[in-house]
Amino acid sequence: MEKEENVRRTWSCEWAFTVKIPKVPGALNVSGANTVTEFILLSFPCSREVQLLLFVLFSVSYMLTLMGNGAIVVAVRLDHRLHTPMYILLANFSFLEICYINTTVPNMLHNFLSETKTISFTACFLQFYFFFSMGITETFLLPLMAFDRYLAICHPLHYPTIMSSRLCMNLVALCWVAAFLCYPVPIYFITQLPFCGPNTIDHFVCDPGPILALSCIPAPGIELSCSILNSLIIFIAFFFILASYTLVLRAVLRVPSAAGRRKAFSTCGSHLAVVSLFYGTVMLMYISPTSGNAAGIQKIVTLFYSSVTPLVNPLIYSLRNKDMKAALRKFQMCTKVNQSE
C-alpha cells in the first residue's frame, strides 16, 4: 500500500509540472513562462471600411502638418529679417512638431492597413522613448518662448543684448539635450518588468499607462516615479509660463497707446493658444499614467496633443503674425518662379 501511494504521488507531481501554460501570441516560452516579444497596438478597432477612411483622413492630416511646419522652418531659414530669437524659436518649435508627429502617425497609418497590428518589444519602447522625449522638449521650449516674449515686452531696451541669437540657440540645444535625458532610466526599469501576456495595448502608441497595465506584477514604485517626474516637468514649466505672462500682462496694461497694447497682445495671443492646447491635454493624461482613464478617452486626448496640435500650430502662428505671413508669401512666390523656370 505504501509503495502504491508513493507511485501515485510521484505520478501526480510529474503531471503537475508538465501542465502546459497557455501560449500568448507574440510570446516566447522561456523556462516555463511566457516572455512577450511583441505587442499588438489595437489603435482604433472598427470595420475595414472605417479603417480605410481613417487612413485617408490621417494621411491628409499628416501631409498638411508636414507642409505647414516645414513651410515655417524654410521661411525663417530663407528670410534674413526673421533671423531673430523669436522666429528662431518658432522655427525650432515647428521642426520639433515635424519630429514629434513622425514618432506616432507613420506607425498608426501602417496599422490601419495591417491585419496583425504588431510592434516588436524593442520598437515599442523606442517609440515610447522618442515620443516622450519629443513631448518633454516641447514642454521645455514653450517656457523658453514665453521667457523670450517677457524680455522683448518688459525689457525692450536690453532685449537685443540679453537674448542674442547665440544664446537663443544654446538654450534651444539645452532644451533638446535635457529632454532626451529625462526618460532613459524610467524606461529601462519598465523594460525589466516581466511581460508574460496578454500583449494587447488598447492604444495607437506605446504609452506608459497601458504598458504598465500589461506587466505580470504590479509596479507601484515605477508608477509613482513616472507620475512625480511628469508632474514636476509639466507643473514647473507651466507655472514658469504663467509667471512670464503675468509680468507681460502687467507691462502691456501700462502701455499708453492702444495700438501698442494691441500689437503686444497679438504677439502673445498665438503663443498662449498653443500653450493652452498642449498643456491642457498633457495634464489630463500624464500626471498619473495609470489613473484609470477609459481607453477611448486616452486615445482621443493623446491624438489631440500628438496630431491635432501640430496641425493647427502653423495656422495659429502664421495667421496672427504679419512678418510670418509676408515671409510665407515670399516663399510661395519663389516656389512658383522656380516651377515656371
pLDDT in tens, 92-124: 999 999 999 999 999 999 999 988 899 999 999
Quickly state the pLDDT bin for 18 (edges 50, 70, 90). Answer: very low
Q: Is the pLDDT of residue 12 over 60?
A: no
Categorize the per-residue pLDDT at 327 as very low, low, confident or very high, splitting at 50, 70 and 90.
confident
Residue 13 is predicted with a pLDDT of 40
* CA pair distance 179, 139, nearest whole angstrom: 9
Dihedral sign for Cα 146, 151, 156, 161, please: negative
Residue 32 has pLDDT above 60, yes or no: no
Q: Which pLDDT score is estimated for 208?
A: 87
CATH architecture of residue range(s) 39-333: Up-down Bundle (1.20)
Residue 194 near residue 215 (C-beta atoms within 8 A): yes
Residue type, 40: I
DSSP state of 192: T
Lowest mean pLDDT among 56-65, 188-197, 235-244, 296-305: 296-305
Higher pLDDT, 277 or 204: 204
Write down the pTM of the prediction.
Answer: 0.82
Q: Which residues of 83-117 are buried (b: 16+ CB within 10 A; e: fewer)?
A: ebbbbbbbbbbbbbbbbbbbbbbebbbebbeeeeb
**Mean per-residue pLDDT over the chain, rounded:** 81
How far is residue 341's CA from residue 300's CA, in Å, rounded to a whole number?
45
Integer Cα distance of 174 and 312 in angstroms: 26
Q: In this predicted model, what pLDDT tens digit does every residue of 157-170 receive, in sequence order?
A: 899 999 998 999 99
pLDDT given at position 320: 65
Domain residue ranges of the chain, discontinuous segments joined by +: 39-333
**pLDDT above 70: percentage of residues in the chain:** 81
State how far the Cα of 67 lies from the Cα of 69, in Å rounded to an integer.
Answer: 6
Q: Are 131 and 103 in contact (CB under 8 A)?
A: yes
Provide the pLDDT for residue 292: 53
Q: Does the pLDDT value for residue 266 go beyond 60?
A: yes
